[in-house]
Amino acid sequence: MADVPTIHILKRPRRIWAVAAIHGEAERLGALHDALAQQAREGDRLCYLGNMIGHGAQARETIEELLDFRTRFIGRSGMFACDVAYLRGQQEEMWHKLLQLQFAPDPPSVLDFMIKNGLEPVIRSYGGMVEEGRSVASQGPVAIAKWTSGLRAAFRSAPGHAKLMGQVRRVAADDSEKVLFVSAGIDPTKPIEKQGDRLWWGGKTFDEIANPYERFMKIVRGYDPDRHGFQETEYTLTIDDGCGFGGPLIAVALTPGGEVDARLEI
């Protein structure tokens, strides 16, 4: 599994802190980070379960907070950069696709879909005009490329932002392969290396998983499209409670066996 490029392996964890979908709520994330710093122990690892941006208005500030806390977290004795994982969620996937909008088969429809699903604040956060995007979307690849190039330049000019987004992975796991972390869902009939966009769009049937997936005894996700709140079944754990939609931001510390050892809710 360590050779699969889509997975981030968190090695030798005492506990793994999993952070639910943030959806651009930078201030709430900052408060959660402060509380987490007080409870973190030697050997703890950290995993953000995707949808770090989108819906909320503070995309830039959220990434700044993620970068700042990463420095604080791995600055402790015995910590390494690989002890922090970031997963790709719907919002990160849409942002990645938006910057290549000129290659989409139907740019106006694709852009409308992204805007309706939470990406408008991210576009504005990096200086883009949604109205201009809608206008150029029907003008052909050259006009679209000029607009997306401006967004890409603003994104890359923000120190560390593009690098962090370049580190997102599809899934993460502990090195004992007992706990698997995903953004929203998973196809239990396919191996990890064959998982597609169901990881961020296929959350509707997550709670129906009734058997272990491969060798994993628990699958943890950070976003529930139906927003049913914190839920745990024998083989799954959902920690989303609606951050970005009026609800709190949740983080849990999980033992290597998948048991909840601590819970923060801001």
Which residue range is the domain that position 179 belongs to?
7-89+168-265
* pLDDT at residue 222, rounded to an integer: 98
In this structure, what CATH number is given to the domain that contains residue 259?
3.60.21.10
Angle between helices 26-39 and 59-74 (to 10 degrees): 10
Domain boundary among 116, 143, 161: 161
Give dist(CA 78, CA 159) in Å, integer: 26
Statement to judge: residues 75 and 131 lie in one domain: no
Distance, CA of 38 to CA of 30 (rounded, Å): 13
**26 falls within a domain:** yes
Write out the H or E segment, with its range, that includes residue 146.
Answer: helix 141-157
Smallest Cα–Cα separation from 53: which of 100, 115, 142, 119?
119
The pLDDT, as a whole number, for residue 122 is 98
Q: Are residues 21 and 43 in the same domain?
A: yes
Distance CA 194, CA 63 (A): 29
Please give the tally of structural domains in the chain.
Answer: 2
Residue 1 falls inside a structural domain: no
Per-residue pLDDT of the chain (266 residues; tens, 9 = 90+): 333 358 999 999 999 999 999 999 999 999 999 999 999 999 999 999 999 999 999 999 999 999 999 999 999 889 999 999 999 999 999 999 999 999 999 999 999 999 999 999 999 999 999 999 999 999 999 999 999 999 999 999 999 999 999 999 999 999 998 999 999 999 999 999 899 999 999 988 898 899 999 999 999 999 999 999 999 999 999 999 999 999 999 999 999 889 999 999 99
Structure tokens at 214: 């491969």
For residue 250, tell me if it sits in a domain: yes
The reply to whether 38 and 126 lie within a common domain is no
Exposed / middle / buried, residue 171 (Cβ in 10 Å: 0-12, 13-18, 19+): buried
Are both 218 and 97 inside the same structural domain? no
How many angstroms separate the CA atoms of 262 and 266, rounded? 14
Tell me the backbone φ, ψ of residue 134, rounded to 5 degrees.
-65, -35
Same domain, yes or no: 82 and 142: no
**45 plus 154 within the same structural domain:** no
Are 251 and 18 in contact, with CB atoms under 8 Å apart? yes
252 in helix, strand or coil? strand
**The model's pTM:** 0.96
Q: What pLDDT does 207 receive?
A: 86
